[in-house]
Amino acid sequence: MITSTIYFLEGALSNAATRAIKGQVYQVPRVGGISFEVEHGKDTRMILKHKVDEPINGAQLEAAIVKAGNYRLL
């Protein structure tokens, strides 16, 4: 079974920023899909799809986001 986990990234990110993050996060084991919800003046929602019984490693996710640029997971 597939589930979604929502994470928040600081600030309303640009298209270029979400593409850079996506490129790095797809390399994290168990990530099956990524989407973003960006609203002006709000933190960005990052929705990751993965199997219910295979959670995403938080440390690996944070490292991928840092590698993508000066972005911060909340």
pLDDT band at residue 68 using 50, 70 and 90 as cut-offs: very high
For residue 55, the domain's CATH number is 3.30.70.100
The verdict on residue 73 lying in a domain is: no
Phi/psi for 40 (5° steps) reads -55, 130
DSSP codes joined into one string, 10-71: SS---HHHHHHHHHHHTTSTT--EEEEE--TTSPEEEEEEEETTSPPPHHHHHHHHHHHSS-
Give the pLDDT score at 26: 96
Instruction: Record the pTM.
Output: 0.92
The verdict on residue 48 lying in a domain is: yes
**Domain count for the chain:** 1
pLDDT band at residue 11 using 50, 70 and 90 as cut-offs: very high
Q: Taking all residues of the chain, what is their mean pLDDT, rounded to a whole number?
A: 96
The verdict on residue 15 lying in a domain is: yes
Give the residue numbers spanning the domain of 15.
Answer: 2-68
- Tens digits of per-residue pLDDT, 12-48? 999 999 999 999 999 999 999 999 999 999 999 999 9
The verdict on residue 30 lying in a domain is: yes
